[in-house]
């Protein structure tokens, strides 16, 4: 028997009659994610997903890391299968966890008996295996309340499994079960986090970036591509749309009063996002807006911004503060790229005194001088498409 990976389901087990469709999608995502690391058999039994290597050529460590980034998996552990016999289980635990048992000062054994035909109760199995381990590692103290190491035993239909503490998985719902959304991806801290949060709810993403040369540089564009690549281990395969935005911003600067620059710019972004969403059969638009963080993110400004679209606008960061967002950015691995000092189009032509409590009628009047339909059509025609893969 070979070491394998056990993935525990989270929210998926709460689903009712459609639970099977969620599990099937999760299995499909998991198979695709580990396939690059070798030949694995991936299957589901008793609310657990099993990732079993077919041969010794499989890179189990890389597959384990990949499993941790698959949405729908709440916990992941490397485990060793063995015969369903107390003596065999104790021997497997002593061998498989030898390094951990040798290094620890205290331990306990926790057993879960999913196969109810197994002759020992969970408590009896823990006592027998715990006693054997204590004899094999006499330096270990038994501590059932706060042990340095917990040895986990699982008695399942096909085999018994021995493993140490599981590590957290990505949680959430399987990617793709929540439909597709266009997500606005700038070069800042917020938008990659908001994209990740929607992917965690099972939403497949179509990232959209607005590029304004010569005001934004090629390095700024590369930064966004890097952020998309950093998101892809979590969010899967994506198609990044890069929309030229220079002409629109220059027209706004020429024809719109300065204090309305940002609001009108955001309204054009929303129009373009909806057009991209309709092409991609997406059902929503995702932004990284956070209430009150900047002038364009007051309740009045947000209402004005989304006035031009009919699709739902999802704002997963809306109630978070900056420290929470930064903490999540570090966790998902985008923070270091997000803080690279390259400009994005949102900082171009920033007004000195932006409107924080705009009225819809005055914003519509301010942009009336612009041919919105023609400007958007030319921007859509000039798009660049980049495929992003994990």
* Cα 132 from Cα 389, distance rounded (Å): 48
Q: Where, residue-wise, is CATH 3.30.2130.30 in the chain?
A: 4-168
**How far apart are alpha carbons 207 and 273 in whole angstroms?**
10
Residue pair 144/248 in contact by the 8 Å Cβ criterion: no
CATH entry 3.30.2130.30 includes domain 4-168 = yes
pLDDT for the residue numbered 42: 97
The pLDDT assigned to 348 comes to: 63
Cα(first)–Cα(last) distance of the chain, in Å? 30
For the chain, residues classed under CATH 3.40.50.620 are 180-388
Look at residue 16 in the predicted model and tell me its pLDDT.
86
Which one, of 318, 305, 322, lies nearest residue 270 by Cα?
A: 305
Average pLDDT for consecutive 10-residue bins of the chain (390 residues)?
93 89 96 96 93 95 97 97 96 97 97 94 96 96 96 95 96 96 95 98 97 90 96 96 96 93 95 97 97 88 95 97 96 95 69 83 95 98 94
Q: Please, what CATH class does the domain formed by 180-388 belong to?
A: alpha beta
Task: Indicate whether this model's pTM tops 0.95.
Answer: no
């Amino acid at each position: 028997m070979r070491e394998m990976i056990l993935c525990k389901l989270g929210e998926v087990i709460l689903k009712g009659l459609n639970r099977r469709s969620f599990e099937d999608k999760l299995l499909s995502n998991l198979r695709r994610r580990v396939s690059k690391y070798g030949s694995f058999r991936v299957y589901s039994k008793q609310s657990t997903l099993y990732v079993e290597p077919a041969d010794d050529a499989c890179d189990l460590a890389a597959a384990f890391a990949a499993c941790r980034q698959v949405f729908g998996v709440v916990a992941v552990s490397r485990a060793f299968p063995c015969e369903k016999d107390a003596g065999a289980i104790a021997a497997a635990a002593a061998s498989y966890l030898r390094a951990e048992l040798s290094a620890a000062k205290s331990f306990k054994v926790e057993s879960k008996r999913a196969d109810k035909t197994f002759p020992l109760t969970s408590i009896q199995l823990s006592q027998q295996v715990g006693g054997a381990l204590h004899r094999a590692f006499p330096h270990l103290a038994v501590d059932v309340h706060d042990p340095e190491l917990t040895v986990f035993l699982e008695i399942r239909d096909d085999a018994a499994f021995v493993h140490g503490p599981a590590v957290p998985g990505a949680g959430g719902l399987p990617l793709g079960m929540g439909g597709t959304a266009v997500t606005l991806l700038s070069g800042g801290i917020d938008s990659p986090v908001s994209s990740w949060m929607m992917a965690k709810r099972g939403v497949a993403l179509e990232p959209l970036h607005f590029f304004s040369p010569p005001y934004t540089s090629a390095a700024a564009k590369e930064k966004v591509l890097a952020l998309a690549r950093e998101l892809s281990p979590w969010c899967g395969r994506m198609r990044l749309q890069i929309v030229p935005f220079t002409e629109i911003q220059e027209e706004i600067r020429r024809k719109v009063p300065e204090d309305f620059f940002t609001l009108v710019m955001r309204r054009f972004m929303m129009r373009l996002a909806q057009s991209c969403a309709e092409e991609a059969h997406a059902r929503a638009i995702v932004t990284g807006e956070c209430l009150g963080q900047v002038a364009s993110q007051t309740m009045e400004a947000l209402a004005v911004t989304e006035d031009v679209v009919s699709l739902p606008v999802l704002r997963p960061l809306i109630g978070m503060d900056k420290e929470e967002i930064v903490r999540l950015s570090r966790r998902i691995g985008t923070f270091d790229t997000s803080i690279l000092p390259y400009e994005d189009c949102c900082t171009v032509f920033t007004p000195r005194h932006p409107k924080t409590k705009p009225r819809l009628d005055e914003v519509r009047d301010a942009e009336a001088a612009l041919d919105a339909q023609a400007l958007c059509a030319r921007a859509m025609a000039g798009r660049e498409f980049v495929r992003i893969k994990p």
